[in-house]
Amino acid sequence: MSALPVTEADLQAWVDAALPAARRAEVEGWLASQPAEAERLGAYLEQKQALKSLFDPVLDEPLPEGLAALASPPPAAVVERPPKPLLERWSLQRIAAGVLIALVGGMAGWMTHDRYPSAESLAKSPLSLPRRAAVAHAVFSPDVRRPVEVSAENEDQLVAWLSKRLGTAVRPPKLGTLGFELIGGRLLPGNSGPVAQFMYQDATGQRLTLYVSTDNATNQDSAFRFAKEGQVNVFYWIDGKFGYALSAGIDKGKLAQIATAVYDQLDRK
């Protein structure tokens, strides 16, 4: 019988009972004549056993609450989306916006050669406003105890503070006629500077946030656009250096109505 030479990998696999029966027999035949190797492998078997005895009790320890809770999905808003969304996850508006921007970017690129970023990166940048707004909404709106930094009771202070930090006058629109009352606001980091977030709530506890950034110096004005990030619907538009995004987990029609009211009020300021 011409057995293959016994390798170190064979010996390790022997310890782990990972050899086919025939090979196992060959290795054991070889070990019978190699007492030093047999002893070494014996020590490895003991190690395995000792490690199991040492750590197996962890299996029976009661799970800490935090870990047991994580057997279920955390709130949906926190779940990341695939980096490259599938076609069906893109709303028509987003595709249209992307095509338009790609066209504009293409023309600009053709005219300016390599002085500006690629059409692809131009097409991506407007998506970052609704995404950032939706994430800020998802993070702060479920917060029961501290949804805002400064509450609406001190609206004057809130307005003065956010205006000062943003370096321009910002004022929360009044949405009482639509059933939403201001509960306050907070300051957040944006792409290149501070961003304000105003939060509203209706009688049922449904929350709505208006995200106001002032770092859109390079963007053209835009009409309303709609984006959906997980559970959060977002209407957003760009007005000069201001970028606005209205986010809530309410249906698109209702949100559009509120977005229109916000737009009208801001336009009249």
The piece of 25-33, 63-71, 118-126, 253-261 that touches other proteins (CB under 8 A) is 63-71
* Rounded distance between C-alpha atoms, residue 43 and residue 37, angstroms: 10
Partner residues linked to 151 by β-bridges: 184
Q: Does 20 bind other proteins (CB under 8 A)?
A: no
Q: Restricting to residues 73-112, which ones interact with other proteins according to CB under 8 A? A: 73-74, 78-82
Residue 12 binds other proteins (CB under 8 A): yes
Which one of 3, 9, 25, 103 is in contact with other proteins (CB under 8 A)? 9
Position 36 contacts other proteins (CB under 8 A): no
Token representation of residue 29: 């035949």
Residues 6 or more apart whose CB falls under 8 angstroms from that of 181 comprise 152, 175, 200, 201, 202
Min CB(63)–other proteins separation in Å: 6
Tell me which long-range contacts 153-161 makes (C-beta under 8 A, separation of at least 24): 155/182, 158/184, 158/185, 161/187
Per the DSSP assignment, residues forming a β-bridge with 189 are: 194
Beta-ladder partners of 200:
182, 208
Reduce the DSSP state of residue 173 to 3 states and report it.
coil
Q: Which of 5, 20, 35, 66 binds other proteins (CB under 8 A)?
A: 66
8 counts as binding other proteins under rule CB under 8 A = yes
Q: How many residues bind other proteins (CB under 8 A)?
A: 38
Q: CB of residue 37 vs other proteins: minimum separation in angstroms?
A: 12
Q: Which residues contact other proteins by CB under 8 A? A: 8-9, 12-13, 15-16, 18, 40, 43-44, 47-48, 50-56, 58-61, 63-64, 66-68, 70-74, 78-82
